[in-house]
Amino acid sequence: MSAVMDPPATVARKCLISHLLGSQVLALLERVPGNPQVRALVLKLAGKLPPPECETFEHVRDWIETHCEPRKAAATSRPTARRVVEEGIRLMVRFSDTEYGRADYSVRRHAREEFHLDADDLMELVRNALNNGDSLDEIVEAAARKIDDDAWEVCDPSMEDDGDYDYSNHDVSSTEDCETSFDRADLRRVILAFLRERHPELAAEL
What does the alpha-carbon distance between residue 125 and residue 187 come to, in Å, rounded to a whole number?
14
Between 94-108, 140-154, 186-200, the lowest mean confidence (pLDDT) is in 94-108
Angle ∠(115,34,40) on CA atoms, nearest 5: 40
What is the span of the domain harbouring residue 6? Answer: 2-72
- For 123, residues 6+ apart whose C-beta sits below 8 A from its C-beta are 199
201 pLDDT exceeds 80?
A: yes
The tens digit of pLDDT for each residue in 82-126 reads 545 567 788 888 877 776 655 555 667 888 889 999 999 999 999
pLDDT of residue 77: 41
Establish if 157 belongs to a structural domain: yes
pLDDT interval class at 75 (50, 70, 90): very low
Establish if 95 belongs to a structural domain: yes
Same domain, 189 and 157: yes
Q: Report the chain's mean pLDDT, rounded to a whole number.
A: 78
Q: Are 95 and 157 in contact (CB under 8 A)?
A: yes
Q: Are 155 and 94 in contact (CB under 8 A)?
A: no
The 10 Å CB-count burial string (b at 16+, else e) for 84-108 is: eeeebbebebebbbbbbeeeeebbb
30 pLDDT exceeds 80?
A: yes
Same domain, 140 and 189: yes
Q: Are 89 and 198 in contact (CB under 8 A)?
A: no
- Domain boundary, last residue among 42, 72, 102: 72
Instruction: Taking residues 120-144, report their average pLDDT.
Output: 92
Instruction: Taking residues 185-191, report their average pLDDT.
Output: 94
Same domain, 100 and 171: yes
Would you state the torsion angle of the CA atoms of residues 101, 43, 83, 125, taken in this order, to the nearest 10 degrees?
-110
Helix, strand, coil share of the chain (percent; to 5):
45, 15, 40
More confident residue, 101 or 39: 39
Same domain, 100 and 195: yes
pLDDT of residue 168: 61
What does the alpha-carbon distance between residue 107 and residue 81 come to, in Å, rounded to a whole number?
46
pLDDT of residue 93: 81
Would you call 91 helix, strand, or coil by DSSP? strand
174 pLDDT exceeds 70?
A: no
- pTM exceeds 0.85, yes or no: no
Same domain, 58 and 94: no
